[in-house]
Amino acid sequence: MKTGREREDLATSRRPRADYRTDLVTVLLGTWFSIGLFLDAWAHSNVPELESFFTPWHAVFYSGFAATGAWILWVLWRNHQQGLRGLDAVPVGYGPAVLALPVFAAAGVGDYLWHTFIGIEQGIDILFSPTHLVLITSMIVILTTPLRTLWSDRAVVAPTLRRFLPAGLALAFATSLVLLFASFADASGYTGAQVIKAFTFDKGAGGSGRASDLASSILVTNIVMIMPLLLVTRRFRLPFGVATLLAVVVMGLSTATAAYTNLSTAIGFIVSGVLIDVLLRKLDPSEDRLKQYRVFAAAASFVTWAVYFASAIIDQGTTPSVTEMWTGAPVMAALHGLLMAVLLVPTARR
């Protein structure tokens, strides 16, 4: 009697595995795809006269989808031409993307109809549009294809940065998209001045709404940023540079959306990425090294937000007046990171 793992291995062994070049092209086309979405999000928030579905930003977005979809279908056709039929022509890891392509296309048509009959969103409502939610979900499934490819290759445990690059870019763009659709609670979009102002208030008056906004945004952003790293460290011994790559991609798109007003914050996140890479190198966290895994989750979260406040303080030349808030926020983030690690890996793997 074969185990579930053995049956899975047997099924995937009959299917082709996409090579490095195929995955790299997939993620580079996904970059085009992602940039189009961020351009569209920027336009919805910053172009008040936007009244049509047919815009330059939608053109970049949907042409990126068309190019990505055409490439994936060509990969299937190439395998078909080599004699593979049915599911056997679908490379390992590409199946979910093949299913997501028609879902995205249908949601695109639905989005056109929505804009035609309901109107063009101009604010936070863009993040709650049903058609946009289907688009983003199917888009993430498509973009993470190279990550699934590498994940399924059991021979790869400690990849080089070059080998991990397609999966790393896929992970970074997926993280960016999740954070984009949580931008109502995204601490990376704050400027240094906004950070200082948010945690500067009269404690006797019970605080301020802006302080609550920043505190909740730190919680959401921390979880969105730390979870991808905790996920991949369960499967791989990550090469130096992955955390920096994640920070550069996420903040590159974030600063563009914020019209480059949050550059000091972006620099802080990138510096944090380098420090987190150092933590990865020193701690070597994994499912088998449970103590190091949990220490990494807490330390990486703490470092991110300690540097976040340091960059705001350096940028503005002053500290927030409420010491408890800006000194306690990194500690709170560390506890949340630790909780995420415990939830992901409750006990060491036997």
Residue ranges of the domains in the chain? Answer: 1-157, 182-350
Average of pLDDT values for 136-161?
Answer: 93
What is the Cα–Cα distance from 113 to 131, expressed in whole angstroms? Answer: 10
Which sign, positive or negative, has the C-alpha torsion 299, 303, 309, 310?
A: positive
What is the Cα–Cα distance from 72 to 31, expressed in whole angstroms? Answer: 15
Quote the pLDDT of residue 35: 81
Close Cβ partners of 14 (under 8 Å, ≥ 6 residues apart): 88
What is the Cα–Cα distance from 122 to 4, expressed in whole angstroms? Answer: 49
pLDDT at 47 > cutoff 70 = no
**What is the 3-state secondary structure of 64-127?**
HHHHHHHHHHHHHHHHHHCCCCHHHHCCCCCHHHHHHHHHHHHHHHHHHHHHHHCCCCCCHHHH
pLDDT band at 1 (very low <50, low <70, confident <90, very high): very low
In contact, 260 and 183? CB cutoff 8 Å: no
Quote the pLDDT of residue 124: 74
Report pLDDT digits (tens) over 287-303. 889 999 999 999 999 99
Report pLDDT digits (tens) over 161-210. 999 999 999 999 999 989 988 888 999 989 999 999 999 977 665 566 78
Higher pLDDT: 72 or 203? It is: 72
DSSP H or E stretch at residue 226: helix 209-235
* pTM for the structure as a whole: 0.87
